[in-house]
Structure 1
Amino acid sequence: MKNKIAIILVLLLSIKTYGQISLKDSTVQVIGYWSKLDKQSYDISFEKLKIKNKDTIARELIKYEVDLKVIDSTPNSYTTEWHYKNFEIDTDNKLVKKLTSISNDISVLIKTDEFGSFMEVINWQNVRDYLNEVSEKLKTELKHIPNSAQIIENVMKIYSSKKSIEANAIKDAIQFYNFHGVKYKLGEEISGDLKVSNNFGGKPFDTKVKFSLDEINAEDGNSIIRMKQVVNSKQLTNETYNYLKKIGTFGKNIPKLKNFPSLTNETYTASRIHGETGWVIYSIETKEVKAENTTNIEERIIEIK
């Protein structure tokens, strides 16, 4: 994500710190005009669907709340606190319920630049230590569930380092700050290349990205901005194949790579953002991963209260 911001800023942007919505030239600059102790609360939902031959064969829905507070403000940065609470998980999988709920009542400190673009997680070590402590208790509590200890270990890898936390554990925050620090013009498309994290542990994936300003709502003082992100299909397919081969998913019947189904990964994000303050009003992100006749969909919605 840092790479994305750097690439777009260098290639395409000229940022100024005044007037985010300009009707004169149909442009919008997304900048966080925040002060210390400013706060907003959000409802967030995250739904996962698995569709095979047009039939939904699996579904999980997680709902939770976030209290977002600006705890420090300098001329060059903001420090924001994301406090997670009130998790509700709709799934029959007891292990998933327990693993999801471990984030309840945790606070993550995120630093942005002066425009509101994501920079880093500040208290990642505290987050890691707290979740590791909780996960050890879960191993004992859920030891009757087959392979639960190994599954918990695999999930906890997401929280093992600063890099992995920023890439995988705060996707709602990355979505929130995704459009900040950029100037957009109505009817024009910003496109570029970036690297996205590889959850299999290999090199980051090459990714094509496009941004567009879809709407300026002058009366209500907000705008809608969209993004499309497409991961390199060949790299994704190769990495997935090698990972499944490594962990023994194929058993003795290992197919040749040329016979392995091609994978695609596309993400679509749209956010309505308040012009004067830079607070996100509503944001929806949909990721679709497809292979032959199976589609995995993840959809996250962030809505201001």
Structure 2
Amino acid sequence: MKKVLLGLILLTPFFSFCQINVADSTVQVITYWDKHEKMTYDIATSKATVKGNDTTYTQKVKFKVDIEVLDSTATSYTIQWKFKDYASLLSDESAEIQANLYNGLTIEFTTDELGTFNKLLNWKEIKEHNERVFSELKGKTNSQEVLVKMLRQKFSSQQAIEEHSIKEVQYFHSFHGVGMKEGEVVEENVSRDTFIGKSVQSDITLELTEIDYENSTYIIKYWEDFEGEGVVNLIGSMFPNYKEKIENSIGDDMSLNDFMGANMHESGWPLYLVYERTLSFNENHMYFEQCTISLEE
């Protein structure tokens, strides 16, 4: 999503060191962070399946992350995230595994001077952390052993770790680098390449909905609606042996929609951010996931 946003928006040049320009009601999302500056955030994630009037949560967790700016230069930031206090709100067998994977996990990465995510620095250390957790879980129940095997594959390479371990980091930095005017709406149709070589069309909307000059904050929102037939073809290509069954079961009205909104402070720290994905197979069957990131009070 980050590359798409930056590809859509020409960053507006500012001649003062602030994100909010009162003169022309424009905002540029930039990080103005000091070395060793620290913040703590509360994060909550949930996944649910809706069939008819029944909603079944398959995941509902919360945890905290301590964020520290390890280094700050004219062209980049080095940032550290430390995860802690992971707790599952559901009584499921995977909770212990997930808790151990998150608690004590440290992620270090770089951004450019605007705060745009650049590079994960310590994927090898993350892999070692995960391997220690998996080793400690040997001898558990058979079902947990199956989960461990699946998760081990999920975190087995640099690419896999970058895809699965830093989703919250990617959400956190999604809007950094974007420049817009209050009330401006940007719309674009784009073609996305996927990890299996297939492309999917989507319609993107980006809007700066509100500037609060008194509190130096603003609200920015992003929507992405994926083209239905392309999503069907994508799922079918991932599971070619079940392509016909999948197409028959999900129907022509299948849709995939993403939404992200953030209340940002002009310093570049989000006060509150939410990401939502809705996958509708048909009018009676829907998959929903959500992640919220809020500054600790």
> Alignment partner of 1:91: what SS?
coil
Once residues 167 and 80 of structure 2 are traced to their aligned partners in structure 1, the CA distance between those partners, rounded to angstroms, is 15
How many Å apart are 1:131 and its aligned residue?
0.7
Alignment CA distance shift 1:94-1:256 (3 Å): closer
Q: Does 1:218 align with 2:213?
A: yes
- The alignment's TM-score, normalised by the length of structure 2, stands at 0.88
Counterpart selection for 2:192 from 181, 189, 195: 195
Once residues 201 and 183 of structure 2 are traced to their aligned partners in structure 1, the CA distance between those partners, rounded to angstroms, is 26
Once residues 247 and 116 of structure 2 are traced to their aligned partners in structure 1, the CA distance between those partners, rounded to angstroms, is 41
8 Å Cα contact 2:12-2:180 kept in structure 1: no
Once residues 19 and 219 of structure 1 are traced to their aligned partners in structure 2, the CA distance between those partners, rounded to angstroms, is 14
Query: What does the per-residue CA deviation read over 1:165-220, in whole Å, with 9 as the maximum and x for residues that have no partner?
Result: 3333212111111111111111111234363754xx45464443221101100111
How many residue pairs were aligned? 291
How many Å apart are 1:82 and its aligned residue?
0.6
Once residues 37 and 211 of structure 1 are traced to their aligned partners in structure 2, the CA distance between those partners, rounded to angstroms, is 32
The runs of 5 or more residues in structure 1 that have no matched partner are none
Query: What does the per-residue CA deviation read over 1:143-165, in whole Å, with 9 as the maximum and x for residues that have no partner?
Result: 422xx444333333442333333
How many Å apart are 1:16 and its aligned residue?
3.8
Identity of aligned residues (%): 27
8 Å Cα contact 1:36-1:73 kept in structure 2: yes
How many Å apart are 1:132 and its aligned residue?
2.5
Task: Give the AA of the match of 2:277.
Answer: K
Q: Does 1:298 align with 2:293?
A: no
Q: Does 1:181 align with 2:180?
A: no
8 Å Cα contact 2:185-2:206 kept in structure 1: yes
Alignment CA distance shift 1:38-1:21 (3 Å): same
Counterpart selection for 2:248 from 251, 254, 259: 259
Q: Does 1:274 align with 2:265?
A: yes
How many Å apart are 1:8 and its aligned residue?
3.1
Q: Does 1:168 align with 2:158?
A: no
> Alignment partner of 1:181: what SS?
coil
Once residues 50 and 290 of structure 1 are traced to their aligned partners in structure 2, the CA distance between those partners, rounded to angstroms, is 10
Counterpart selection for 2:226 from 225, 228, 231: 231
> Alignment partner of 1:141: what SS?
coil
Matches within 5 A, 1:44-55: 44-55=43-54
Structure 1 window deviating more from structure 2 (257-266 vs 280-289): it is 257-266
8 Å Cα contact 1:121-1:166 kept in structure 2: yes
> Alignment partner of 2:259: what SS?
strand
Structure 1 window deviating more from structure 2 (185-194 vs 220-229): it is 185-194
Tell me which stretches of 4 or more aligned residues in structure 1 moved more than 6 Å: none
Alignment partner, residue 129 of structure 2:
130
- The alignment's TM-score, normalised by the length of structure 1, stands at 0.86
The runs of 5 or more residues in structure 2 that have no matched partner are none
Alignment partner, residue 112 of structure 2:
113
> Alignment partner of 1:164: what SS?
helix
Task: Give the AA of the match of 1:73.
Answer: S
How many Å apart are 1:5 and its aligned residue?
4.9
How many Å apart are 1:233 and its aligned residue?
2.7
